[in-house]
Amino acid sequence: MICLDVSLNGERLTRAGLRRGVVTVIVDQLPPGAPSFTVGGMDTARSRNHEYVHWLQRKKLKCGHEMSVRIVEASRAHKPMQRERPVLREGHRTEGTFAECSFCGRDRPHKLPSGATGGILGVSTFICRSCSCVAQQMKEQKASQALHLQRVDRAQCSFCQQTRRGLIGGVVGRVCSACIRKIVETM
């Protein structure tokens, strides 16, 4: 199979490859001034539902760093560090797309019958409309807990992937103040 050997400053970090699916090497500046790269993809061979895979996630880059990607033919790739099932499901319960909210754990519509957004989808996170509202209220009232949500001192935000302080956490999702503001604005 064709694999991607990803090296940083001459040192090979991983050999990424899939029998079926998509493999990506993404270099980003998110936020500006903090470049990083991610080696990941989508595996469509293992299950009926595809899975997101990561070999390296948001590894930091500095000025002068040099990355290279060599295309190689190999019998096998390195095992991905992480596998994630996407949260969106088609045609569940009724017509339309539903997602399991990463904050309350309930199945929520991605779109409401009116056409309005039912929630916001991250890479492998979904926050429903009601959790967004509760999170926004918690933020405004500086509450430590509200319903099933609670404040998390320091963690990685499930939306922007940045490690932040004072996040709001649910079942598996974590959202930072900046992201919850943007999410509520979008709805």
Q: Using CB under 5 A as the criterion, which residues of the chain lie in contact with Zn ion when the complex forms?
A: 101, 103-104, 128, 131, 157, 159-160, 176, 179
Please, which residue, 77 or 99, has the CB nearer to Zn ion?
A: 99
Nearest-approach distance from CB 187 to Zn ion, in angstroms: 13
Q: What are the distances in angstroms from CA 39 to CA 6, 22, 53, 77?
A: 8, 11, 9, 13
- Minimal distance, residue 147 CB to Zn ion, in Å: 10
| Pick 113 or 166: Cβ nearer Zn ion | 166
Other Cβ atoms less than 10 A from the Cβ of 95: the count is 9
Which of 36, 18, 14 shows the shortest CA–CA distance to 27?
A: 36
Query: From the CB of 179, what's the least distance to Zn ion, in Å?
Result: 3
Cβ closer to Zn ion: 84 or 107?
107
**Residue carrying structure tokens 């993809």:** 41
Encoded amino acid at 111, one letter: K
Measured from the CB atom, is 3 or 152 closer to Zn ion? 152
> How near is the Cβ of 183 to Zn ion at its closest, in Å?
9
Whether omega for the bond prior to residue 32 falls within 30 degrees of 0, making it cis, is no
CB nearer to Zn ion: pick between 19 and 111: 111
For residue 118 the two structure tokens come to 């039912």
Helices (H) and strands (E) in the chain, counts: 2, 16
Minimum gap (Å) between residue 109 Cβ and Zn ion: 11
